[in-house]
Amino acid sequence: LAAELAVPCRIFALDLTQEASLEELSAEPVVVRYLVNAAGFGRIGMAEDIGAATTGRMIALNCRAAAELTERALPYMERGSRVLEIASCAAFQPIPYLAAYAATKAFLLRYSRALAAEVAAYLRQYYPENPRAHKGIVLACLARTFLEQRPMHPQAAARWRETAGGYVCPQHGGA
């Protein structure tokens, strides 16, 4: 991928749930122009079936790793740098059978919004001579809608039924 880009780029293949991987990224002082936090995963099913260990790994990757990467990168960013956190439409409401995943994406959305306000306030405080200082580092969170995502496989979709309260899966106790 790095060879195909028009700008210099470093690619790191790391397990972001491991502290050693995050330390490895912090060891190299470089200017960070773009940080795209796109790592993450989810599981569909009842929480008890998914299990605490899988839920813990999901939180470690979807929340902790994204927040730590962002905070570790900020000191190496300069005016015009950008952070893009990849969330999901699941960030906007609790979703049965995606409880932990939706919660991690809600965290990422709120974290990104709050951090963007912090960064803007910091830049205004320490660079008051520049009225556009708040536009120095851009933080954004992308949360795609259901309409933009690929349709569910017909066999999987057949298991779900729309109700007034959302979608339920009769196979997992939904009415």
pLDDT in tens, 1-24: 778 888 777 777 888 888 888 888
- According to DSSP, the residues that pair with 83 across neighbouring strands are 35, 139
3-state secondary structure at position 84? strand
H helices present in the chain, as ranges: 19-26, 47-50, 52-59, 66-73, 99-126, 154-157
Per DSSP, 60 falls in state: I
Please tell me the distance from the alpha carbon of residue 69 to that of residue 108, in angstroms, as a whole number: 12
Please tell me the distance from the alpha carbon of residue 33 to that of residue 74, in angstroms, as a whole number: 10
pLDDT tier at 46, thresholds 50, 70, 90: very high
pLDDT, residue 148, reads 36
Please tell me the distance from the alpha carbon of residue 6 to that of residue 115, in angstroms, as a whole number: 30
Please tell me the distance from the alpha carbon of residue 35 to that of residue 27, in angstroms, as a whole number: 16
The per-residue pLDDT for range 104-118, each reduced to its tens digit, is 999 998 998 888 888
